[in-house]
Chain A
């Protein structure tokens, strides 16, 4: 087997063969009437959403609307003081609030997270290889050689040279750091990728390349994605369906292109207009006229 064949075989192996066989149907994530209260303040109110197999769903909302809290609730990372109501079903497993072990077993294996600030989300004292390898160490019983092969394959797939494997996060650019974050999230071939504003800390050119990379990797892996952002321009590139969240409630759902073209709710209209003015460089008033 030559070098290319070996890499192709390994890539396929990482993607499909070792994926945990948890989901029994096309439903990846099911959330029903999810409510979260922290110190008597309602941060999520009756949130209901579904993500099917190979679906790329966006979640958009203004700052403080509850986007990140929803991610924390789905992944069981809410603060202990939070009071949670409703149902979360992931990979056929119904998750109870406070069942840390059940959430922890799914995190990193069934659901991978890509974080907002890649520089802060990488451990400063671990090398790139150690960071990317961590989920494999946690969830798979592979020997050092197998782990290493998978890490190198993954680094190549996210466009990082193997020479960076021994580098530390502060030696990388913002785009490279986010590529490490994506590699870490995808190394275990999870069924669901949650990207929490993964391009916010990056410049426009790097934003585009990171989104394209993320979408292509998620598509080639046959995974689903929940993409969280407050930027419609980013959302239209990364997702096909989206939900708008405002003050902890999902206020509008629909096809991303349609929602961007014809928002129905005033809050959505506000967000779309802001995106058109700032990011897409279109004057919405002019456009409507």
Chain B
């Protein structure tokens, strides 16, 4: 809501406004972050693996070497060859095609788990650092109690009424990782909530919610980045485990866990068929963990001097342009 003062200038009656974004264009900021990540060996590895993962997921929507449902009983458990670069599984289906198609399922699971765990984690953190002492204490007790429930048990509980599905994996992983995240982020969020700059922000009339999202959450960014990437990585491991237990991805839906499950039964006879999905999972999970570390180091203006230089340059350029104009 705005009002007009005597000179026609508009001023707001309430403290609500658009989210305070940085003055550096997002595109430039993203470019600097990417360049900084590329300069780190871990960051470069993570970026390459992530790019391949996303590219393969998109490609698999349109093309796989063989249709997923095409089987060749005469060539079950075939070794890698020109026709089947990664061999075939127990029903003669092409392993590469199933891994390619599985990558998109795992990408969706990782992204959704990150989203759900971020929402649950930040909501719990907001409650735990709330100015209302009773609410904050209750929040800590509830989080501590719920955090004791293991992911597998939660997935089994969800699977009883809803059946095995991707939603069950996302709900179980999102909830447990979100609660873990809240517990880990809470100390730095509490420090920020008690800081003088949060007091100063409130003294400017910033609302409690806005203070949380623009002053407290950014200060927890290093912890948050690592925790979110770990949530994504661990969700891939959990998908494999839960699918093996029969409460994960339903049969017929391609996923890395599904490929592992079908080949693990004959691991002693055909170890190579387990190697490919196992290697893929290990590679992607490692890349996700390294990605979190790289984002923590490169996207935080306090840690990355290049971002600070960019802010100073943009500020100088905009000022010069503004004055000259």
Contacts and interface: CB of A to CB of B under 8 A. Distances in A.
Given A162-B315, A166-B313, A123 B215 contact: yes
A149 B322 contact: yes
B11 A138 contact: no
A60 B2 CA distance: 39
Contacts of A141: 2, 10-12
Interface stretch (A24-32, A86-94, A107-115, A207-215): A107-115
Interface string A239-266: 0000000000000000000000000000
A129 interface: yes
Interface string B108-143: 000000000000000000000001110000000000
A122 B200 CA distance: 8
Contacts of A237: none
Interface stretch (A42-50, A73-81, A226-234, A271-279): A73-81
Contacts of A129: 23, 315
A13 B201 CA distance: 24
A255 B196 CA distance: 32
Please name the 4 residue pairs, one residue from A and one from B, whose CB atoms are nearest each other, closest first. Answer: A166-B315, A108-B204, A166-B312, A120-B196
30 contacts: A17-B9, A18-B9, A21-B5, A104-B205, A106-B205, A108-B204, A108-B206, A116-B196, A117-B196, A121-B196, A122-B197, A123-B200, A125-B218, A125-B219, A127-B22, A127-B301, A129-B23, A135-B204, A135-B205, A140-B9, A140-B10, A148-B23, A148-B318, A148-B319, A152-B319, A163-B312, A163-B316, A165-B316, A167-B311, A184-B200
Contacts of A116: 196
B199 interface: yes
Contacts, number: 160
Contacts of A135: 204-205
A140 B12 contact: yes
Interface residues of A, number: 56
Contact of B5 (A20, A117, A152, A167): A20
Interface in B1-17: 2, 5-7, 9-15, 17
Interface in A150-190: 152, 162-163, 165-168, 170-171, 181, 184
Contacts of A138: 12, 15, 17, 204-206
Contact of B308 (A20, A137, A168): A168
Given A115-B196, A148-B318, A166-B316, A130 B203 contact: no
Given A20-B5, A122-B200, A80 B133 contact: yes
A165 B200 contact: no
A280 interface: no
Given A141-B10, A168-B302, A152 B322 contact: yes
Nearest to A100: B208
Contacts of A148: 23, 318-319, 322
A212 to B, nearest CB: 23
A120 B302 contact: no
A7 to B, nearest CB: 9
Contacts of B322: 145, 148-149, 152
A142 B10 contact: yes
Interface string B299-319: 011100000100111111011
Given A108-B203, A113-B203, A137 B302 contact: no
Nearest to A170: B302
- A13, A166, A170: residue with the most chain B Cβ atoms closer than 10 Å: A166
Given A108-B205, A142-B10, A167-B308, A137 B316 contact: no
B316 A162 contact: yes
A142 B9 CA distance: 8
B212 to A, nearest CB: 13
Contacts of A133: 20, 23
Contacts of A121: 196-197, 199-200
Contacts of B315: 127, 129, 162-163, 165-166
A13 B23 CA distance: 23
B123 to A, nearest CB: 21
A38 interface: no
A139 B203 contact: no
A284 interface: no
B312 A120 contact: no
B323 A3 contact: yes
Contacts of B7: 13, 17-18
B202 interface: yes
Given A17-B5, A130-B20, A104 B207 contact: yes
A105 B23 contact: no
A138 B201 CA distance: 10
A62 interface: no
B23 A127 contact: yes
A69 interface: no
B282 interface: no
